[in-house]
Amino acid sequence: MGREFILDFISQSDFEKHVLKTLNKYQEVLKSIDLKKFNSNIIDPIKLLFDKHIYVKSYEEIIALELQRQRDKSNNNSIGYFHQNIFQYIKGCEVPKSGWDIVFKGEKNSYFVELKNKHNTMNSSSSQKTFMKMQNHLLNSKNSKDICALVEVIAKKSANEPWIISLDGQRQTSNERLRRISIDKFYEIITGDKLAFKKLCEQLPKTIEKLLKQNSHLQLQKDSVYNELKKLDKDILTALYKLAFLTYEGF
């Protein structure tokens, strides 16, 4: 029988504490959504109409999907919290309140990290700003072993390579101390285990299931949107039109 907890670079108590903190960040989106909250930014009934027919869904199903989409906006921040703040529990790492997302002081090098959840979350302007911040740190650092790194959770590929961009149309020369690293390679740098991130991914569902069983408050409440729409009008499409177009001519 395999071990219940398979991570060697973080204690079970710290890992479970961190996962629970992340789950608790979902509390707000687990609350029931009523019609007023559902339409707080004014829904697009035309889009919902197209989606219903293209995806062959009922109105109840398509509204449930829209509710999920609204919740997902907040959930991305919770996942960002998980990926960044887990490092405060790992030896040699700290999560500064400002400046860098993560700092790792290793035996050979110190890493100053900007962490991104996905490779395409930065536009050209923010990429250049981050790149120049790293360049400035390396130019002003008295420690020649400092490395600045853009670390990506969802990278295009597993990699630890120089990060090269174009500034004002000029492609920058390669700098071995300014790097672009996928999250698996970053975990390997920190732990010395090339499978550390894979093990985390294997451990995570077991820990989430365990904690959800122990914390009954972390349950999705029943939404009232569909029933409120039926009260607004027996025809759901008409009810959706009323939400967005009530002041328009003819509605």
The residue assigned the tokens 């990429």 is 127
User: Residue 2: pLDDT above 60?
Assistant: no
At 72 the pLDDT is: 86
Range of weakest confidence among 9-13, 72-76, 124-128, 216-220:
72-76
Q: Which of 165, 157, 168, 92 is nearest to 134 (CA)?
A: 165
Alpha carbons 210 and 215: distance in angstroms, whole number: 9
User: Does 19 or 122 have the greater pLDDT score?
Assistant: 19
Alpha carbons 113 and 185: distance in angstroms, whole number: 13
127-150 confidence digits (pLDDT tens): 889 988 999 999 988 888 999 999
Mean pLDDT of 7-26: 96
User: Residue 250: pLDDT above 70?
Assistant: yes
21: confidence class by pLDDT, cuts 50, 70, 90: very high
User: Residue 1: pLDDT above 60?
Assistant: no
User: Residue 41: pLDDT above 90?
Assistant: no
Task: Tell me the average pLDDT of the chain.
Answer: 91
At 64 the pLDDT is: 94
99-108 confidence digits (pLDDT tens): 999 999 999 9
The residue assigned the tokens 């109105």 is 59
User: Residue 173: pLDDT above 80?
Assistant: no
43-58 confidence digits (pLDDT tens): 999 999 999 999 999 9
Question: What's the chain look like in SS3?
Answer: CCCCCCCCCCCHHHHHHHHHHHHHCCHHHHCCCCHHHHCCCCCCHHHHHHHHHHCCCCHHHHHHHHHHHHHHHHHHHHHHHHHHHHHHHCCCEECCCCCCCEEEECCCCEEEEEEEEECCCCCHHHHHHHHHHHHHHHHHCCCCCEEEEEEEEECCCCCEEECCCEECCEECCCCCCEEEEEHHHHHHHHHCCCCHHHHHHHHHHHHHHHHHHHCCCCCCCCCCHHHHHHHHCCCHHHHHHHHHHCCCCCC
161: confidence class by pLDDT, cuts 50, 70, 90: very high
